[in-house]
């Protein structure tokens, strides 16, 4: 038996795993006791990873060879890798010649490794010449990115997991780590036991398992986070709980914020949020007066049409009370995906360039063009996830290359996304699993290697870079994502840069890609010029920044009170509370939120192959408050029709007093298992995103998956 150290491919906690294998077969997995994210622990998903790689799964669920669909709707036929790669290069070159580079789009994934991200990003920007590259991380963390940049000057989570053990007050907002980040939650529980005086405040419209642990659960109405944070700040200002010296020395913009929150009285804020005023005042007091307050936040703040403002309103509290840059204190966004952070570092999103640069900056574009050895990078702003599919539906994007993600299931307003895929002239899907909803729309399917089969790096929520290692070769003809991209890019180069002396994609190993990525970080806030794969192999995972000569990564940022803005001062961002993008009315009186179950992951392409992971939740159900069932003469277990302005689904109902009145909650994972779904025109649709809406935050462009207006009717 062979043992290989790697990283769990599910969530952003980034747990270390030891993969057991015999020959070409993965036979087991256990937690890596030396990995600082988990110290040997694994949750239900991580500990069953090997069951997603059994011979039966490999034979029945994996995409094992390139396939092409000669016409839409037909069964795909096998073709050789050479022919498939040539076809992609030829079709992309033709679309580019006929319609320009911006008629091509790339939609990639926070599940990809940093090296894969680098390859795709360079292909899109340096060779095709478009900024139309975005990632499913847009649905996950882009509001956190915008929030950090606006307030602190850089997309850099300031804290570390160790701060959980040093915090006197944990303020968990819009996050349910008990289900979404289980190993981190074990750490929260252990910290609580070790420091019984510490307090936990949970802000969540639902009484989650995380909220059960809280000293104070602020069960706010959906979409009222900014009212809560501004009301808490009002209390801090007028009670004298702010850190006046810190504000004066290290921040700017406080006067405008103070003027804004003058009207956000605790009484008004509590009423707006649907909580008691005393609860709000107690939360403000604990937040400000505790020796160290650490915020943990996630999709509840991010997946919102006001996502950036929610993030900055929380960061305002940290800055105003001086709860940042110290042990156990700071705003700490938890990433959903295993490498959302790495993708941000590599600039694999429309609104980013490598090394936390900005595609709107001519100087930043010039720096990356020089590093990559091309004359210039494209200037036209790229389209973000929702915009990319809207443009495809309008016929502006003709060719889409999708990798390691399933937008036909996971994007909001599923009908629009499916219409967009159908409208494209050419859809390439690069995937490990053969049967995703998006696969039905692909003209060409390219088999990709996945967990346990590929090498590279990922970065977790606490800026820690871990090595991902192959334990076995990819099955069938599957190849590593970076290798697929590099092969096709070299073929495209022959068409777009004939006669070029050297290839931009002369990569033989993922480490070569990583070294190029590393150069893009030199001198930046995320500088990793002091790291190497040899060092990561010898000393284990490391946090950035880790500049040349540093000798160690940095556990905590901004300890010197100097922030990443031009003048070193953090910025207060004054934004008022406002309504969600879609209001409830008499026809759609309930607010629907979606979220994770403990034992499933995203669209279940991997976790859905493991029978054991269905034991706790065999099928999706719409959860509603028992009082709402009573009022509507509905019963738990009954099949109901849930309708939004975009579509409808038939679902079993489940009474759940953890869900607030006039609200409904649905797991995000299930797609084609739903029955009786259809869009507003009656076209059959399946999955939770038949209901959700695509309106997004103007700053982060992250869609509002946590708030859709629905009604529920008996069938
Ligand atoms: Fe994997 Fe996340 Fe579970 Fe850790 S907590 S084992 S990273 S799914």
pLDDT tens digit sequence for 41-76: 999 999 999 999 999 999 999 999 999 999 998 999
Q: Which atom of ligand 1 is nearest to the CA of 338?
A: 7
Give me the interface pTM, i.e. the ipTM: 1.00
Are the C-beta atoms of residues 319 and 570 closer than 8 Å to each other? yes
Q: What's the per-residue H, E or C state across 378-446? A: CCCCCCCHHHHHHHHHCCCCCEEEEECCCHHHHCCCHHHHHHHHHHCCEEEEEECECCCHHHHHCCEEE
Are the C-beta atoms of residues 363 and 357 closer than 8 Å to each other? no
The Å distance, Cα 504 to ligand 1 centre, comes to 36
Stretches where the chain sits below pLDDT 70 are 672-685
Q: Where do the CATH 2.40.40.20 domains begin and end in the chain? A: 590-714
Among protein residues, the one with the nearest Cα to ligand 1's atom 2 is 11
Nearest to 209 by CA among 635, 615, 616: 616
Q: How many angstroms separate the CA atoms of 107 and 427, rounded?
A: 11
For 277, the token pair is: 């005023």
Q: What is the pLDDT of residue 619?
A: 87
Q: Where do the CATH 3.40.50.740 domains begin and end in the chain? A: 67-140+340-509
The Å distance, Cα 11 to ligand 1 centre, comes to 5
Q: What is the pLDDT of residue 671?
A: 85
Nearest to 205 by CA among 675, 674, 595: 595
Among protein residues, the one with the nearest Cα to ligand 1's atom 3 is 43
Q: How many angstroms separate the CA atoms of 106 and 239, rounded?
A: 51
The Å distance, Cα 596 to ligand 1 centre, comes to 13
Would you say the C-alpha torsion 304, 712, 675, 415 has a positive or negative sign? negative
Q: What is the pLDDT of residue 687?
A: 85
CATH architecture of 142-334: 3-Layer(aba) Sandwich (3.40)
The Å distance, Cα 575 to ligand 1 centre, comes to 35
Q: How many angstroms separate the CA atoms of 378 and 362, rounded?
A: 10
Q: Where do the CATH 3.40.228.10 domains begin and end in the chain? A: 142-334
Q: What is the CATH number of domain 590-714?
A: 2.40.40.20
The Å distance, Cα 607 to ligand 1 centre, comes to 12
67-140+340-509 maps to CATH 3.90.110.10: no
User: For a pocket test of ligand 1, which of 6, 9, 13, 460 has the largest count of ligand atoms closer than 8 A to its C-beta?
Assistant: 13
Are the C-beta atoms of residues 233 and 317 closer than 8 Å to each other? yes
Residues with CB under 6 A from ligand 1: 8, 10-11, 13-15, 38, 42-43, 45-46, 181-183
Q: What is the pLDDT of residue 169?
A: 98
Model pLDDT for residues 515-527, shown as the tens digit of each residue: 999 999 999 999 9
Q: Which residues of 457-493 are buried (b: 16+ CB within 10 A; e: fewer)?
A: bbbbbbbbbbbbbbbbebbeebbbbbbbbbbbbbbbb
């Amino acid at each position: 038996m062979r043992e290989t150290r790697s990283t769990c491919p599910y969530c952003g906690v980034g747990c270390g795993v030891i993969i057991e294998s015999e020959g070409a077969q993965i036979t087991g997995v256990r937690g890596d006791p030396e990995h600082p994210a988990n110290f040997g622990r694994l949750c239900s998903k991580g500990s069953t990873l090997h069951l997603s790689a059994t011979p039966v799964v490999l034979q029945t669920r994996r995409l094992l060879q390139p396939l092409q669909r000669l016409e839409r709707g037909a069964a795909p036929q096998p073709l050789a890798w050479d022919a498939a790669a040539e076809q992609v290069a030829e079709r992309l070159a033709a679309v580019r010649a006929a319609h320009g580079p911006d008629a091509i789009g790339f939609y990639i994934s926070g599940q990809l490794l940093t090296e894969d991200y680098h390859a795709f990003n360079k292909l899109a920007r340096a060779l095709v010449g478009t900024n139309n590259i975005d990632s499913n991380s847009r649905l996950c963390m882009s509001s956190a990115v915008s929030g950090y940049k606006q307030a602190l000057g850089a997309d850099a989570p300031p804290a570390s997991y160790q701060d959980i053990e040093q915090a006197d007050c944990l303020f968990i907002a819009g996050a349910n780590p008990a289900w979404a980040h289980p190993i981190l939650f074990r750490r929260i529980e252990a910290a609580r036991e070790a420091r019984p005086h510490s307090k936990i405040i949970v802000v969540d419209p639902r009484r989650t398992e995380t909220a059960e642990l809280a000293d104070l659960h602020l069960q706010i109405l959906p979409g009222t986070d900014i009212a809560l944070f501004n009301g808490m700040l009002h209390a801090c200002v007028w009670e004298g709980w702010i850190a006046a010296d810190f504000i004066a020395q290290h921040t700017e913009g406080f006067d405008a914020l103070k003027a804004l929150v003058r009207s956000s009285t605790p009484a008004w804020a509590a009423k707006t949020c649907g909580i008691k005023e005393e609860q709000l005042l107690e939360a403000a007091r604990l937040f400000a007066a505790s020796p160290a307050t650490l915020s943990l936040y996630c999709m509840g703040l991010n997946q919102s049409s006001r996502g950036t403002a929610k993030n900055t309103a929380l960061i305002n509290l940290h800055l105003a009370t001086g709860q940042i840059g110290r042990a156990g204190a700071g705003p700490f966004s938890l990433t959903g995906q295993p490498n959302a952070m790495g993708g941000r570092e590599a600039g694999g999103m429309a609104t980013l360039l490598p090394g936390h640069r900005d595609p709107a900056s001519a100087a930043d574009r010039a720096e990356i063009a020089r590093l990559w050895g091309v004359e210039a990078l494209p200037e036209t702003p790229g389209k973000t996830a929702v915009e990319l599919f809207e443009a495809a539906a309008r016929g502006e994007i003709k060719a889409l290359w999708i990798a390691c993600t399933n937008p036909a299931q996971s994007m909001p307003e599923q009908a629009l996304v499916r219409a967009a895929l159908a409208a494209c002239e050419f859809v390439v899907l690069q995937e490990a699993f053969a049967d995703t909803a998006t696969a039905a729309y692909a003209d060409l399917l390219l088999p990709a290697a996945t967990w346990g089969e590929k090498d590279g790096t990922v970065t977790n929520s606490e800026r820690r870079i871990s090595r991902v290692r192959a334990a076995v070769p990819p099955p069938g003809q599957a190849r590593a994502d970076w290798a697929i991209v590099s092969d096709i890019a070299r073929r495209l180069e022959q068409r777009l840069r004939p006669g070029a002396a050297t290839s931009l994609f002369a990569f033989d190993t993922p480490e070569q890609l990583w070294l190029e990525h590393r150069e893009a970080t030199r001198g930046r806030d995320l500088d990793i010029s002091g790291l190497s794969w040899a060092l990561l192999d010898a000393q284990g995972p490391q946090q950035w920044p880790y500049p040349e000569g540093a000798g160690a990564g940095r556990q905590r940022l901004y300890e010197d009170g100097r922030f990443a803005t031009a003048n070193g001062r953090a910025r207060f961002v004054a934004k008022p509370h406002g309504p969600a993008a879609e209001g409830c009315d008499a026809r759609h009186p309930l607010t629907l939120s979606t979220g994770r179950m403990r034992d499933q992951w995203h669209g279940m392409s991997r976790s859905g192959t493991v029978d054991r992971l269905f034991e706790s939740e065999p099928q999706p159900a719409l959860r509603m408050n028992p009082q709402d069932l009573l009022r509507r003469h509905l019963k738990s277990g009954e099949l109901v029709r849930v309708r939004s302005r975009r579509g409808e689904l038939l679902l079993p109902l489940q009474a759940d007093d953890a869900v607030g009145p006039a609200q409904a909650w649905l797991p995000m994972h299930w797609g084609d298992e739903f029955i009786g779904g259809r869009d507003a025109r009656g076209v059959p649709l399946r999955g939770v995103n038949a209901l959700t809406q695509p309106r997004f935050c103007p700053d982060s462009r992250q869609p509002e998956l946590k708030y859709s207006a629905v009604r529920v009717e008996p069938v």
